[in-house]
Structure 1
Amino acid sequence: MSESIKKLAFMGLFMALLVIATYLLSFPVPNFNLYFNLGESIIYLVALIYGGIPAAVIGGVGSALADILKGYPVWAPITFFIKGIEGFIAGTFAQRSNPYTGVVLGAAFMMTGYAIAAWRLYGIGAVPIELAGDFVQVSVGAVIALFLHRRLKKLSFEDKDNF
């Protein structure tokens, strides 16, 4: 099996995992049209293994799809943009410096983007709730992704130069 086919198969697997982690492993936030989920772990893991462009595609498309499936269609275009850029930032900076820098910068962009979106959609009162939930979400996602990355980085599909 060629490396391109193998990588495409892993990308499909990661896309499915992201939708599952966002759709099934989520918890609603009371009083606002928001929810906490574990999708960040998959975005960061893809960013750490494959880099910015695959993480942008999987993060943006997979997360927006999960929003639609979960019944939050107003968030889908917002999520597509924020999660796509988050994945790109995390993957690009992880490749250039180290995994922690990439994850922290991606998380900062995600939290800022969703805080602005929550403010515009629901008013300033939604911002502290959004930030608190996002902080927990990116922190849990980072811990899971960094833990898994250390264990997976020796596998052959981590050859980023051919993707």
Structure 2
Amino acid sequence: MNNQNVKTKTGSNVNVKLITMTAMFAALVTVTTAFIKIPSPLGYSHAGDSMIYLGASILPGPFGIIAASIGGALADLIAGYPQWAIPTAIIKAFNAVPFVLCAMMLKKHGKDNKIINIPNLLMLIPTTMVTVGGYFIANGLMYGWAAAIGELATWWLQPGVGALIYIAIGAGLDAIKFKQKMLPGVLR
């Protein structure tokens, strides 16, 4: 199969490479969330957000959002926190949105060829607010507001660790022009 696009019975084109990259990022989110973690009384902080930021910076919008949501929810199921799977699926989908919106703006101006750039670095601020606010609300609804306040400090660690890993890996991938090589003509 030399052609990346496969025609289905309904006549729509499916880009096999894009679907594969989406699955790869969902798996990376799952593994770095479930297995690179810092335990806390009501859950854990992890390095998985870095893969969400990378996936959302590389993949076209809906695919980055899907990878983030599926990867985060699967990690909670695998790690033994099934009660968090649905809140995580929602929160992680929203974590990808700032990067998707940023990528749309960058593409409009023909500047979406890098992962690490000033606009994407600025998106670390709203995505951090989504993580902290989303888990604060979910924690409050599930365990009470006193527990949510008690956990609040740990929710800042997760996106902070994720941001540092994202910057390091993203800079390395930019050095080898990963984004242009992996999905030419498909990006956004």
Residue 24 (1) aligns with residue 35 (2): yes
Specify the code of the residue in structure 2 equivalent to 1:16. Answer: A
Q: Of the candidates 132, 136, 141, which is equivalent to residue 120 of structure 1?
A: 141
Specify the code of the residue in structure 1 equivalent to 2:95. Answer: E
Compared CA separation, residues 159 and 146, structure 1 to 2 (3 A): farther
Q: Is the 8 A contact 1:52 1:89 kept in 2?
A: no
CA deviations 1:74-122 (Å, max 9, x no partner) are 1111111111111123332354361012222122112111101111111
Residue 148 (1) aligns with residue 173 (2): no
Q: Of the candidates 91, 102, 120, which is equivalent to residue 100 of structure 2?
A: 91
Q: Of the candidates 3, 9, 16, which is equivalent to residue 5 of structure 1?
A: 16
Q: Of the candidates 49, 60, 67, which is equivalent to residue 76 of structure 2?
A: 67
Specify the code of the residue in structure 1 equivalent to 2:98. Answer: I
Q: Is the 8 A contact 2:57 2:99 kept in 1?
A: yes
Q: Secondary structure at the match of 2:123?
A: helix
Q: Is the 8 A contact 1:53 1:88 kept in 2?
A: no
Compared CA separation, residues 160 and 84, structure 1 to 2 (3 A): farther
Identity score, percent: 29
Specify the code of the residue in structure 2 equivalent to 1:45. Answer: L
Specify the code of the residue in structure 1 equivalent to 2:166. Answer: A
Distance 2:151 2:57 in 1: 25
Residue 81 (1) aligns with residue 90 (2): yes
Q: Is the 8 A contact 1:18 1:62 kept in 2?
A: yes
Q: Which runs of 5+ in 2 are unaligned?
A: 5-14, 107-118
* Superposition deviation, residue 28 in structure 1: 2.0
Rg larger for: 2
Q: Is the 8 A contact 1:49 1:160 kept in 2?
A: no
Residue 157 (1) aligns with residue 152 (2): no
Specify the code of the residue in structure 2 equivalent to 1:14. Answer: F
Q: CA RMSD in A?
A: 2.1
| TM-score, scaled relative to structure 1 | 0.86
Distance 1:160 1:72 in 2: 39
Q: Is the 8 A contact 1:92 1:102 kept in 2?
A: no
Distance 2:135 2:54 in 1: 21
Q: Which runs of 5+ in 1 are unaligned?
A: none
Aligned pairs, number: 161
